[in-house]
Structure 1
Amino acid sequence: MCGALSLVYAQGAPAPAGSLVPTKIDIRATPIEAFDPREPAKKQFGSLIFRGGLVLSSPHKQFGGLSSLRVAADGSRFLAVTDRGFWVRGRITYRGEAPTGIADGEIAPMLYSDGRPITARGWYDAEALAEDGGFAYVALERVHRILKFDYAKRGLLSRGTLVPALPEIAKLPSNLGLECLQAMPKGSSLAGALVAISERGLDDAHNIRGFLIGGPKPGVFSVKRSDDFDVADCAVAPNSQLLVLERSFSWRRGVAMRIRSIPLADVVSGAVLEGTKLISADMGFEIDNMEGLSVSRTAKGETVLTLVSDDNFSMIQRTILLQFTLLDRDGASASRN
């Protein structure tokens, strides 16, 4: 539910020769001291407390386009996927609770079951990442497929196999496909299912289509769309809430982000989900094209949200990593077991 240690640092089998070998990369970080530069001392934003952030860069030509990530239970090691069909992993370093840099950076192409990069099949645009029991699941936009990787066994050299999915997923718009992918936690009524939500595949009421894949009750649901926000990612919090990261863009207003919290119990076939807003931010804050969201826990039991932006490999955009502490309804750090 909050990231698996085995998922993030499995070592795998001996590496093949050539370009498929995972490559160590230098990921450079510039700290973000204030989420709102206009009020540098302010820390609380909606239901979140700003812990710190980083602007990331690397001389490696394939670094960038980070679309989703999962942070391990220790809050430091992470695995991410990119628009170009690559894995990126590393370790977040800290001073106190504030992130200060990225160590042990690695990058590798995603491989299909035939051992070749998925890009050899014309597949790329990895937009969503989930983990469950040491397996990694990756949703590919445009081709509308979900791949399953035995990550605990083979790490960055694991090979993807197709996950059977609902036929409605194949009907999503080409560049507005699956952006959210989350395995339902053990003990929940949906245990064994994957929740997937499209970026902007709309139903007849112009709400965003979501899907329950596998599990006891597969089916289709919707997330109520408002204020031109589209879905970018999702993660499950320890308080049995599905957190949905959203972003919007217009040439006049620029980019904006929002996070909504939806009770897991409400995620059922046929539902129209709305939830409550935890935070919203526009270009006045330290954001970019925020696309990735992960949840982890500190040793003190605090719930930490890690967000990452997709720079689209653009010179005018940034790769930003942000961390917040989630507050409970009473305004205290969420630390439920």
Structure 2
Amino acid sequence: MRLTRRGVLAGLGAASIGLPEARAQSVEPGRIPVAISVRPFDAFEPRSPGKSRFGELGFRGGATLRGDHPRFGGFSGLWRSASGADVVAVTDNGFWLTAKAVSEKGRIARFEQAELAPILGASGRPLHRSRYYDTECLTIVGGVAYIGVERTHDILRFDWARHGVEARALIVPVPREVKRLKSNRGLEAIGIVPAGQPLAGALVAISERSGKEDEPTLGVIIGGRRPGLFQVRRHDGFDITDLAFLPGGDLLLLERWYKPLRGVGMRIRRVAAGDLRPGAILDGRYLIEADLGQEIDNMEGLCVHQEQGKTILTLISDDNFSFLQRTVLLEFELA
């Protein structure tokens, strides 16, 4: 979901995609080099600079990112390779960001080989020039990338291993209940159930908010042994903005709260692996909660990777391309 500039000002002061034209479309220049400046911060909570433990997470480091291209920003989905070095993100207006993360002293210090590229539809036409422009979540597993599209309520599949940013989208069929979601309350979280679980290999997607305030929101299991629908309980006005699976199968849910005149909040919930099944109503304990007393913004992207036996959570914010907001990158270690 996009927090509008007006709202921020008030608050803070597989089938081919059917495109409108049948004739071939010219493709915009593919890769756009971008220089990313990294402004690190050592304290997640500025008023408590020595504090490093927040709930069940240990703060490793954070930074504010800036790019030298106007398309940089609006990041709503995030992925890191098993080593953490390769980074892929999607913007909420239809662009890929790819980069190499260079870490020093256990935290990201800079990005190299950073590039932006338009996400392509089946014809080669950029998604940002089609009705599939609102790309909100990302996962890459086994060389295949999946992106959730809000407003049209679609899931797109890309042959990432073979084509990278030049891959063209295929639509993954979804249940009719997904297509009935409200326009700007669609799929915000996506992931693949890891190996060793009863639903291993299934695609899981969750809508931001499918009902009224604090009513459960819709989730879907596609493929695998037991496809079907489930729900996720919502509390305190928080919306779902992303998900990631831990290696053992537990599900992490990134949630975001926003109210005009009051600001933003963030938290991460952990759902037991065995709870995920058709017909379930998922809930779980919170690993961390944060608000504007900590270094957060509109946190929308979450991914997990392993580093020397440690489980690392990386989060990124969607700045909505607003000068009032920031692209914040955070790294935590699961205790």
- TM-score when normalising by structure 2: 0.90
**Residue 294 of structure 1: aligned partner:** 303
Q: Is the 8 A contact 2:96 2:118 kept in 1?
A: yes
Cα distance between partner residues in 2 of 1:205 and 1:119: 32
State the identity %.
46
In structure 2, relative to structure 1, the CA distance for the partners of 1:196 and 1:122 (3 Å cut) is same
Could you say what the CA RMSD is over the residues aligned between the two structures, in angstroms? 1.6
Q: What's the CA shift string for 1:231-252, capped at 9, x where partnerless?
A: 0000001232100000000123
- TM-score when normalising by structure 1: 0.89
**Residue 250 of structure 2: aligned partner:** 241
Kindly indicate whether residue 219 of structure 2 is the aligned counterpart of residue 214 of structure 1. Answer: no
Kindly indicate whether residue 79 of structure 2 is the aligned counterpart of residue 70 of structure 1. Answer: yes
Cα distance between partner residues in 2 of 1:284 and 1:25: 31
Kindly indicate whether residue 198 of structure 2 is the aligned counterpart of residue 189 of structure 1. Answer: yes
**Residue 173 of structure 1: aligned partner:** 182
Letter in 1 for 2:310: E
What SS is found at the alignment partner of 2:63? strand
Q: What's the CA shift string for 1:233-282, capped at 9, x where partnerless?
A: 00001232100000000123200000000012101111111111000000
Cα distance between partner residues in 2 of 1:247 and 1:61: 25
2:133 to 118, 124, 127: 124
What SS is found at the alignment partner of 2:78? strand
Letter in 1 for 2:331: Q
**Residue 319 of structure 1: aligned partner:** 327
What SS is found at the alignment partner of 1:169? helix
Greater shift after overlay, 184-193 or 129-138? Answer: 184-193
Letter in 2 for 1:323: E
**Residue 239 of structure 2: aligned partner:** 230
Q: Is the 8 A contact 2:298 2:317 kept in 1?
A: yes
Q: Is the 8 A contact 2:156 2:172 kept in 1?
A: yes
1:100 to 101, 109, 114: 109
Cα distance between partner residues in 1 of 2:49 and 2:82: 30
**Residue 303 of structure 1: aligned partner:** 311
Q: What's the CA shift string for 1:112-133, capped at 9, x where partnerless?
A: 1111112232221111112221
Cα distance between partner residues in 1 of 2:244 and 2:234: 18
Shift of 1:205: 8.2
Cα distance between partner residues in 1 of 2:46 and 2:221: 40
Q: Is the 8 A contact 2:38 2:110 kept in 1?
A: yes
Kindly indicate whether residue 281 of structure 2 is the aligned counterpart of residue 250 of structure 1. Answer: no
Cα distance between partner residues in 2 of 1:99 and 1:118: 30
Letter in 1 for 2:232: V
Unaligned runs of 5+ in 1: 1-15, 328-337
Unaligned runs of 5+ in 2: 1-24
Letter in 1 for 2:45: D
What SS is found at the alignment partner of 2:208? strand
Kindly indicate whether residue 212 of structure 2 is the aligned counterpart of residue 200 of structure 1. Answer: no
1:19 to 28, 32, 54: 28
1:91 to 80, 84, 100: 100
In structure 2, relative to structure 1, the CA distance for the partners of 1:209 and 1:57 (3 Å cut) is same
What SS is found at the alignment partner of 1:188? coil
Q: Is the 8 A contact 2:136 2:188 kept in 1?
A: yes
- List structure 1 segments (4+ residues) > 3 angstroms apart after TM superposition: none
Kindly indicate whether residue 54 of structure 2 is the aligned counterpart of residue 59 of structure 1. Answer: no
Q: Is the 8 A contact 2:214 2:237 kept in 1?
A: no
Q: Is the 8 A contact 2:27 2:125 kept in 1?
A: no
2:275 to 260, 266, 277: 266
Cα distance between partner residues in 1 of 2:283 and 2:213: 17
Q: Is the 8 A contact 2:228 2:278 kept in 1?
A: yes
Letter in 1 for 2:51: K
Shift of 1:18: 6.4
Cα distance between partner residues in 2 of 1:113 and 1:74: 31
Q: Is the 8 A contact 2:60 2:331 kept in 1?
A: yes
Kindly indicate whether residue 169 of structure 2 is the aligned counterpart of residue 160 of structure 1. Answer: yes
